[in-house]
Amino acid sequence: MKQKETLLNIRLDGEKIELSDKHIDDMGDNHISTSVDTPMRADAFEKTDDAKIAAIETHFRAIMEELGLDLTDDSLRGTPHRVAKMYVREIFQGLNPANKPVMALFENKYRYNEMLVEKNISFYSNCEHHFVPIIGKAHVAYISNGKVVGLSKLNRLVEYFAKRPQVQERLTMQIGKELQQDLGTEDVAVLIDAKHLCVASRGVEDDTSSTITAFYGGRFQEEKTRQEFLQYLELKTEF
């Protein structure tokens, strides 16, 4: 590898590797992720949100200036601050475990032990390789083992994990594993159908494809249960 192609060193599986510009593009275009957990620094939450906003504002101003934009223009003047605030308080707030929804459980007094499906949960996320939107729908299901959770909590949990720089496979698994833990059951399914703007608007520029990822735990690994779940997703509802 020529020296000028070496852009940075990262740790992947504990090993230092060198990434060339081409490797970096390939990793993004193939949407490869390295683990189920979002890779975070040990000092991720030592700074306050306000301190992060102030620092990101400075960095984003520098990016805009490098692009040649005139930040004395009234329309652009506030953009670095707006972007910084949006990153920390809105679209990436799911990085902070303090923002995780509390999944209060209730006794399943009516003994409903069939499958519960919450479908068409809209979410907005951002691709961690390009920082452009992923727009999709999540369908979540579980079979109660005696405890149930408020329906809106399923939407909130999807939203929480979506509000991070993400790859779709990881988002799917993070929702599935968290639900298994919160509900105390392996019987959880998550299916996500999403459009990646980094695929639609740049790179291969495919505007019509979408990506489907699935997580099937416990009884959802059985063909019959899985088919029942998939049939519910096809049910047309007229409201």
Q: What are the residues binding Zn ion (CB under 5 A)?
A: 127, 129-130, 198
Q: Which of 52/163 has CB closer to Zn ion?
A: 163
Q: Which of 118, 128, 169, 228 is catalytic?
A: 128
Q: Which of 91/188 has CB closer to Zn ion?
A: 91
The CB-of-158 to Zn ion minimum distance in angstroms stands at 20
Q: In one letter, which amino acid is 14?
A: G
Q: Catalytic annotation on 198? A: yes
Burial (CB count <10 Å: 0-12, 13-18, 19+), residue 135:
middle
Q: Catalytic annotation on 231? A: no
Q: Which of 53/198 has CB closer to Zn ion?
A: 198
Q: Which of 145/211 has CB closer to Zn ion?
A: 211
The CB-of-83 to Zn ion minimum distance in angstroms stands at 18
Q: What is the number of helices (H) and of strands (E) in the chain?
A: 8, 9
Which helix or strand (DSSP H or E) is residue 135 part of?
strand 133-143
Q: Which of 31, 159, 168, 174 is catalytic?
A: 168
Question: How far apart are the C-alpha atoms of 89 and 111, rounded to whole Å?
Answer: 40
Question: How far apart are the C-alpha atoms of 175 and 166, rounded to whole Å?
Answer: 12
Q: Catalytic annotation on 196? A: yes
Q: Catalytic annotation on 168? A: yes
Question: How far apart are the C-alpha atoms of 61 and 55, rounded to whole Å?
Answer: 10
The CB-of-131 to Zn ion minimum distance in angstroms stands at 8
Q: Which of 31, 57, 130, 159 is catalytic?
A: 130
The CB-of-163 to Zn ion minimum distance in angstroms stands at 17
Nearest-CB residue to Zn ion?
Answer: 198
Q: Which of 31, 57, 127, 178 is catalytic?
A: 127
Q: Which of 31, 57, 129, 166 is catalytic?
A: 129
Distances (CA, A) of 207 to 81, 133, 147, 191: 31, 13, 42, 21
Q: Catalytic annotation on 130? A: yes
Contact 115, 230 (CB under 8 A): no
Q: Which of 197/230 has CB closer to Zn ion?
A: 197
Distances (CA, A) of 157 to 36, 142, 169: 16, 14, 16
Closest-CA residue to 159 (of 136, 188, 177, 180): 136
The CB-of-206 to Zn ion minimum distance in angstroms stands at 12
Q: Which residues are catalytic?
A: 127-130, 168, 196, 198
